[in-house]
Structure 1
């Protein structure tokens, strides 16, 4: 397997990241490749916030995976800092290769480096394979999540 590098994303990689976000049944309903301007604006906000980490996995100069890691200082849990993993995607050509595990391991290591005491994530209830994947990596289904569209 050719060398894989996990590093911060750059603006030029937005089209590849959005394509991966859109490449599943849920993402196809939420994302669009027709107008990338909202994604560029969001990336600028992320890039200016030291608690936001949009990471990409790159192999042979090609973006093959991505995730967003958010660091959240807090008062609960005795003033613990936690991280939240979002938007984990692996390019269709790389699924089953262990890349998802490498991305999550990177996020956990970065969370430790940032002084986090807890790593959390959510996964849509329809993504049963993702739930099994996260449980295999040691995550426990401990909460019920709620969302309110604005």
Structure 2
């Protein structure tokens, strides 16, 4: 059951032979992801019980018009706590979404919050007229949580540490 649970939670171990780096170097490497073109930011988590927080805010395209216009704002967070004695980073995923209505969007009509492993891909397409005069399906919006999690997890495992997904820090 332990291996199955680890797989579900997204636990990854470093490759064999990788020498673990010190805690402060790993922290610096995770904070250095900020300037590399990733769609999220990593910062100090403050007094929240974790060490670092990766946060990604996404505003999905609006649908509808007038009073029936809806727009969803998603906030994806990964809280990270480093355990130097075990060389483990415990990571808890959290997702918030707020649906707003109206034009401009002001009235909140729905809120959702979830905690646990984030694995979602959300895509939207539109049809546009191509050069040949025919309609073509074109991707207009894409959100893949792997774009956030993979760089963090790769940095941790590349540093010789284990990435362990958890429900509570």
Which of these two proteins has the greater Rg computed from alpha carbons?
A: 2
What TM-score results when the alignment is normalised by the length of structure 1? 0.30
Greater share of helix residues, 1 or 2? 1
Q: Which has the higher strand share?
A: 2
Q: Pick 1 or 2: higher relative contact order, CA cutoff 8 A, min separation 6.
A: 2
